[in-house]
Amino acid sequence: MGGELRIDPWSSNQSTDYGNIISQFGLQSMSDVEIPNPSHLHRRGLIFAHRDLDVVLSAHSAGQPFGVLTGLMPSGRMHLGHKMVIDQISWFQNLGADVTITVADLESNATRGLSLARARKVALEEYVANYAALGLDPETTQVYFQSTRSAVQKMAFTLGRRTNLSEFESIYGFSGDTNLAHVLAPLVQAGDILHPMLDEYGGLRPIVVPVGVDQDPHLRLTRGLAAKSNWFNLNSRKGGGLTIGLSVQDDNAAALGIAGDGKLDLKVRQSVIDNIVAEVADLGFADILPNAKHGSIQIPSATQSDRSSVRMKLLRLERSMGGLGLMQPASTYHRFAVGLTGDKMSSSLPNTTIFLTDDIAAVERKIKRAFSGGQPTVEEHRRLGGDPDIDVAYQYMMYFFEPDDKFLAEVNADYRSGKILAGEMKQLCIDRACEWLTNHHQLRDQTGHLVNDFLAPDAR
Ligand code: TRP
C-alpha cells in the first residue's frame, strides 16, 4: 500500500511513513547491522535505516580509516533537531571517524539570499560554538565553507556531466520553472559529500552522512554520480562470484584501450586487464578469468563479502590511471522529533522547538504549552491513561534529555496506566531539559575559545 512517495528536501511537510520510505527508496533496515557501543538514538530505534553502514563498520573493525560528514545551513538558530545530528557525528567520531563539516554558505546565499559574511558569522557563533560544547573534538574535525573550497566546486562541475535535467526531474520533481539555484545546490552538495575521499582531503575511505530522510534525494543523486564516474564496474556474476567490467566514457576511453577512431587498441586494453588481474590476484584469488576484448574479468570464487576489498583495489587502480576513484557514500536515517506544538519542528517557528541558546524561562514556557498525549480531565486520565507515543514531553525525553533507558520505560508504562498525569510528564521533561540546557550553557562558556580550532586551513 501507499502511493508513490516523493521526498523533497525543500518542502516543509515531511512523510513519516518510515516503513514505506524504507521499501520505496531501497534503504536497509537497521536491524541487519550490529552497532558497536550503541547510543540512545540506536537503542531507541530513532535511527531507523541506512545505506552501506556495514561498509563503514567493517572499516572500523578492520582498523581502517573512515570519515563522517554533515553540512549546516547557516541561516537560522541551532535547535534540538540539529543537536541530534551532531550527537551522531560525535558518536562516529568516538568510534574513530574523522569529521568534515560543510558550511553551506553558497547554498544559503543562492536559496535564501544570505550574504557570505553573514553566513560565516552565524555558522561560527550559532553552530560551531555549540558543536564545541556538545563535545566534538577539534583535533579530528574540519569545518569548511563551500565558498572557499574550490575542490568542492570543481567536483560539482565534473559530476554535473554525469546527470541531466530528466534525472533531477525524477529525483526532485523539478519542472520548467524551477530556479536553477536548486539545480546547483545538489551538485555542490554531492561535491561536499564526495570530496573528502580525494587524496588532498584524507584519501580513499568510506564516508558516512547521517541525515533525516528529507536529505535522502541528495544521497541517491550522489551515490548515482559516484557510481557513474567509476571506470570499473563490479557486479555479481551469473553462476556465482563477481564480475568486473570496464565502464568506457569520453574521458577514459583512451586509457581503457579505445582509440580515437573508436577501434579497440588491444595492446592498451591488454595492459589494463593485466593490471586488474594483478590487483585481484594480490587479494589471493586463484582462478581469475580475463577477457580483454569484452573488457571483463570474472572471479568465480569471490563471495559478496569480498566486494569491499575488490572495490578498493579497483578504485585505487582507477586513481593511478587518472580517474577520481570515488566510493558511494554511506548514510544513516533518523526519525524526526515532532515539534513542541505537534507540527513540524522548524527554526522559523520558535515555539515548535528549543534553541540551544534559549533561556530556562523560555524552555519552561514552551514545554508547558507542548502538545500532550494526556486525557482532557484528571479523572479520565487516571481511568484511560495517556499516550506517550504522541505526548511531546515524553518524546523529547526519549529523543533528547533522558539518558536512562530503564527510567524512560517506567515513565512510559506509568503514563499509559494513568499513574503519571500529563502535567507531571511535562514537569519531568522541564526538569530534564533545564538540567541539560544549564549544563550545555556552562560548557559553551568553557569551550568558546575552541571555535577557531575547528576551522580547516582554508576556512580561517
Ligand atoms: N542541504 C543541507 C541542508 O539543507 C545542507 C548541506 C550542504 C549538507 N551540504 C551538505 C548536508 C552535505 C549534509 C551533507 O541542511
CA 210 to centroid of ligand 1, rounded, Å: 11
102 touches ligand 1 (CB under 6 Å): yes
Looking at the fold, whether 37 and 93 belong to one and the same domain comes out as yes
Looking at the fold, whether 31 and 158 belong to one and the same domain comes out as yes
User: Which of 336, 367, 385 is the C-terminal boundary of a domain?
Assistant: 336
Distances 274 to 57, 242, 285, 292, 298 between C-alpha atoms, Å: 32, 17, 14, 9, 13
209 touches ligand 1 (CB under 6 Å): yes
Looking at the fold, whether 74 and 188 belong to one and the same domain comes out as yes
Looking at the fold, whether 260 and 192 belong to one and the same domain comes out as no
Query: Does a structural domain hold residue 5?
Result: no
Residue 84 corresponds to which cell in the numbers above?
541530534
Query: Does a structural domain hold residue 119?
Result: yes
Looking at the fold, whether 266 and 179 belong to one and the same domain comes out as no
CA 267 to centroid of ligand 1, rounded, Å: 45
Total count of domains within the chain:
3
The Cα 92–Cα 38 span in angstroms is 10
Looking at the fold, whether 192 and 247 belong to one and the same domain comes out as no
Residue 87 corresponds to which cell in the numbers above?
550527537
Looking at the fold, whether 265 and 311 belong to one and the same domain comes out as yes
Query: Does a structural domain hold residue 38?
Result: yes
The Cα 207–Cα 103 span in angstroms is 17
Looking at the fold, whether 46 and 182 belong to one and the same domain comes out as yes
Q: Vertex 328, ends 324 and 333: CA angle to 5°?
A: 150
CB-based contact 167:3 (threshold 8 Å): no
123 touches ligand 1 (CB under 6 Å): no
Looking at the fold, whether 210 and 103 belong to one and the same domain comes out as yes
Which pLDDT score, from 0 to 100, does residue 12 have? Answer: 61
Give the pLDDT means over successive 10-residue stretches in the chain (460 positions).
Answer: 64 74 89 94 96 96 97 94 97 98 96 95 97 98 98 97 95 91 95 98 98 92 98 96 96 94 95 97 95 96 93 97 98 95 90 96 97 97 97 98 97 98 98 98 97 97
- Through-space distance between the first and last CA atoms of the chain, rounded to whole angstroms: 51
The Cα 181–Cα 243 span in angstroms is 40
Ligand 1: which of 70, 89, 109, 112 to mutate, most ligand atoms within 8 Å of CB? 70
Q: What is the CATH number of the domain that holds 381?
A: 1.10.240.10
CA 450 to centroid of ligand 1, rounded, Å: 23
Looking at the fold, whether 266 and 367 belong to one and the same domain comes out as no
Query: Does a structural domain hold residue 190?
Result: yes
Ligand 1: which of 10, 14, 69, 72 to mutate, most ligand atoms within 8 Å of CB? 72
Q: Vertex 215, ends 210 and 220: CA angle to 5°?
A: 95
Query: Does a structural domain hold residue 342?
Result: no
The Cα 406–Cα 418 span in angstroms is 18
196 touches ligand 1 (CB under 6 Å): no
Which pLDDT score, from 0 to 100, does residue 13 have? Answer: 64
Please give the residue range of the domain that contains residue 247. Answer: 232-320
Looking at the fold, whether 87 and 174 belong to one and the same domain comes out as yes
* Overall pTM > 0.85: yes
Query: Does a structural domain hold residue 341?
Result: no
User: Which of 290, 308, 336 is the C-terminal boundary of a domain?
Assistant: 336
Looking at the fold, whether 88 and 177 belong to one and the same domain comes out as yes
73 touches ligand 1 (CB under 6 Å): yes
Query: Does a structural domain hold residue 455?
Result: no
Q: Vertex 253, ends 252 and 258: CA angle to 5°?
A: 155
Q: Atom 3 (ligand 1): residue with closest C-alpha?
A: 73
The Cα 180–Cα 168 span in angstroms is 11
Residue 344 corresponds to which cell in the numbers above?
513540524
CA 103 to centroid of ligand 1, rounded, Å: 8
CB-based contact 398:44 (threshold 8 Å): yes
